[in-house]
Amino acid sequence: MKALLPTGNPAEMVVLGDAEEPRPGPGQALVKVEAFSLNRGEVFRLHGAPRPDRRPGKDIAGLVVQAAADGTGPSAGQRVVGHPPGGGWAEYAAVDTDRLAVLPEGVSAIRAAALPLAGLTALRLLRTAGCVSGHPLLLTGASGGVGHYVTELAVGAGAQVTAVTATPERGKRLAEFGARVIHHLDDATGPFHTVMESVGGESTARALALLRPRGELIWFGQASREPAALNFFDFFRGPRSATVRHFHYEHFDEPYAADLAALVRLVAEGRLHPEIGRLTDWRSTATALNDLRDRRIAGNAVLTIGQ
């Protein structure tokens, strides 16, 4: 089968080549991939030396061509969205059935492919934050895929969202969702009940200072690639009894299938709208990866196979 293979070259991170078709285990379905999306975290992992046993690809959608031998999960012929740990940028992928959800009518593979990592992160971030209805919430680094989903879901849940984006253009859609969009933390009007911080560097300390007493900062990324440093003397002079929590969407006991099903249901009901900033054929993946790395794509980048 054809698959995208890592090169170790930052200028052209992947090339289209040949790979062995996966052989599903008892609890895995074989999926014919129709579309997949890219994530910035995958971009930076591709900068290292390539490993033949680790091909990229976490977000896919397509058709089950072979159901799991143990009888779990979707049947052959069903359309699905999946979140394998890797290997999804290929014509076929073997995916654990607890990482798959069946697509309802009206949700295309293209829209579904933009959901898994970003959508799961957003859904679980809000679950971690607890009830946000009526509360002021600050989201930094808001113009990527996660930011779009967090903003729409949080506004839909009744939160008063302030979203920080680099430019007005990148924040336009967030404003349409109902967020107040700013472009620098100095323009944020606190205090905030919850801060979701994903930039790192100086942003983390500045965002922490905007919390109300007993507020919570949830740290879930470092998009600037700059380490965050907190001066604890400043911390003590800041919001009383504030909490800083590290978050990663994988640190949950629940399997992905149920949350993937929740995401596609929200899309089908018109309550969640995948923002696709780039849609192209998978032969253009190397270019899309460079543009995603350099922030020339707002929202999600989706690549199609054989269309």
pLDDT digits (tens, 9 = 90+) for 99-150: 999 999 999 999 999 999 999 999 999 999 999 999 999 999 998 889 999 9
**196 contacts 218 by C-beta, under 8 angstroms:** yes
What local confidence, expressed as pLDDT, does residue 291 receive?
94
**Domains of the chain by residue range:** 2-115+274-304, 118-246
> Pairing between strand 92-96 and 59-66?
unpaired
pLDDT in tens, 53-98: 679 999 999 999 999 999 999 999 999 999 999 999 999 999 999 9
pLDDT in tens, 228-242: 887 777 766 778 888
Domain covering 2-115+274-304: architecture: Alpha-Beta Complex (3.90)
More confident residue, 49 or 138: 138
From 236, 125, 142, select the one nearest 185 (Cα to Cα). Answer: 142
What local confidence, expressed as pLDDT, does residue 307 receive?
58
Where does residue 179 rank: exposed (0-12), middle (13-18), buried (19+ CB within 10 A)?
buried
What local confidence, expressed as pLDDT, does residue 50 receive?
73
Give percent above pLDDT 70 in the chain: 98
| Sequential DSSP letters for 118-145 | HHHHHHHHHHHH---TT-EEEESSTTBH
> Pairing between strand 180-182 and 211-219?
unpaired
pLDDT in tens, 153-197: 999 999 999 999 988 888 899 999 999 999 999 999 989 999 999
From 126, 106, 149, 124, select the one nearest 276 (Cα to Cα). Answer: 149
What are the distances in angstroms from CA 100 to CA 25, 72, 115, 141, 305? 15, 11, 12, 28, 19
What local confidence, expressed as pLDDT, does residue 52 receive?
66
CATH number belonging to domain 118-246: 3.40.50.720
Please give the model's pTM, rounded to 2 decimal places: 0.93
- Rounded CA gap, 264 and 144, in Å? 19
pLDDT band at 2 (very low <50, low <70, confident <90, very high): very high
More confident residue, 92 or 253: 92
What are the distances in angstroms from CA 13 to CA 3, 84, 266, 298, 300? 13, 20, 34, 20, 18
> How many other C-beta atoms can be found within 10 angstroms of the C-beta atom of residue 304?
17
What local confidence, expressed as pLDDT, does residue 190 receive?
86
What local confidence, expressed as pLDDT, does residue 231 receive?
77
